[in-house]
Structure 1
Amino acid sequence: MIVIIGSNKGGAGKTTTATNIAVALAKRGYDVCLVDADPQRSACRWHAEREAAGLEPSITLIEKRDNIASALKTLGEKFDHVIVDVAGRNSRELITGATAADLIIAPHQCSQLDLDTLAELQDQLVRVRDLNPDLKAAAYHTMASTNPAVRETERQEFLTFISDFQEVSVIEAVGFYRKAYRDVMATGHSVMESDNLQASAEIEALCNEVFGDGR
């Protein structure tokens, strides 16, 4: 399965989502390739830390830029899952990658600036589906508030906004704003390898929903 983690807004946790999904799938025994298609190279730096620490399971990382469609198709034949981290903008990597992908997971915070970019994503989906009619896209609510006083209201606002975009479904799993996600990135870990059970459960729920619950 080829999955692009991408949207048209930066700072929504795309690399965090990509690296944690990659580790979660590898821990399930899948052969996973993480593709860093973002010029900022955050996934590459994370992977370098992981390799230097000798962490298992190991993740294959490949850097690709510009037109990545052909590379993704080739990787999709070699690996169980290919997870692609693209830049937080309307990039060539996002568009070309989408022509070869099975799914786009679009991380978004519940903010007007983030959610306004869904109109652009929907337009992109309509065009790309002329070449890849089976492409699916789903919005993933990230950096959600853990405050019980606003948590439910924020989620409802997110769902209400997404409902206006018929080309984009909604992932039920939610990623909350937790320091654990930032802490593990610096050491090449995933929250699945941390002692933060809440963050670990969030990634597990995301993977169960998207990929199924195990082999």
Structure 2
Amino acid sequence: MIVALLNQKGGVGKTTLALHLAGEWARQGQRVTLIDADPQGSALDWSQQREHERLARLFGVIGLARDTLHREAPELARTANHVVIDGPPRVAGLMRSALMAADLVLIPVQPSPLDGWASAEMLALLKEARIYRPNLAARFVLNRCAARTIIARETANGLADHDPPVLGATIGQRIVFAAAAQSGQLVQELDPDGPAAREIARLAEDITSLAAGRDRHG
């Protein structure tokens, strides 16, 4: 399965979610490759930091910030259970290529009024991709949610009947994610029994269930 985390708005947590999703599957014993398709190369930086700290490699990270992703990602998927694409902000050609490569598109958004999360440009690109790939699955993912806030509930309710819909799993606003990024680690390593690790496990579980459902009915 090829999962792409995409949103033309920067700073919504695409890299954090991509790394932790890849790490969760790797910790389950699955073969995972992460494609860093962001010209900023944050996932590659994390991988290099991990190597510098002499930590065990969990999954491969490859830099492919070019618009041939739709040809190269399926080749990588032949030797992996999962390929995770950390997408670019505001690079339309790269975004289109990632959309054409993916089996599932995750659109991370932060709790905000509806005009904050609704990236018209991102949704237009998704609609365009579905002309060629009508079965392309997509979900919003609520990220950096402060616990029990009204705005988080309002955002979730606003997305409930939306296309694409919102994934059930949500990720909280937690300092441990920043600590993990700086040390080349994952929250599952820093605090394996903590709430952040549980949320990432739930995210991976929801995606796996979604893919299994599509396999049964697709």
TM-score under structure 2 normalisation? 0.88
Tell me if 1:173 matches 2:173.
no
The answer on whether the counterparts of 2:18 and 2:84 sit within 8 Å (CA) in structure 1 is: yes
Q: What letter matches 2:117 in structure 1? A: L
Q: What's the % identity of the aligned pairs?
A: 29
Deviation at 1:84, TM superposition (A): 0.5
After superposition, residues 114-129 of structure 1 pair within 5 angstroms as 114-117=116-119, 119-129=120-130
Deviation at 1:136, TM superposition (A): 0.7
After superposition, residues 6-17 of structure 1 pair within 5 angstroms as 6-17=6-17
Corresponding residue number in structure 2 for 1:188:
184
Worse overlay, 52-61 or 181-190:
52-61
Q: What letter matches 1:115 in structure 2? A: W
TM-score under structure 1 normalisation? 0.89
Corresponding residue number in structure 1 for 2:132:
131
Task: In structure 2, list runs of 5 or more residues that go unmatched.
Answer: 211-218
After superposition, residues 70-89 of structure 1 pair within 5 angstroms as 70-89=71-90
Aligned pairs, number: 207
Q: Which has the higher strand share?
A: 1
Looking at structure 1, the residues matched to 189 and 174 of structure 2 have their Cα atoms a distance apart, in angstroms, of: 15
Q: Secondary structure at the match of 1:78?
A: coil
Q: 2:152 aligns with which of 133, 151, 155?
A: 155
Distance 1:162 1:121, change over 3 A: farther
Task: In structure 1, list runs of 5 or more residues that go unmatched.
Answer: none
CA deviation map 1:57-114 (0-9, x unaligned):
5211111122111111111112110000012335322211111210111100012464
Corresponding residue number in structure 2 for 1:105:
106
Root mean square deviation of aligned Cα: 1.8
Deviation at 1:131, TM superposition (A): 1.8
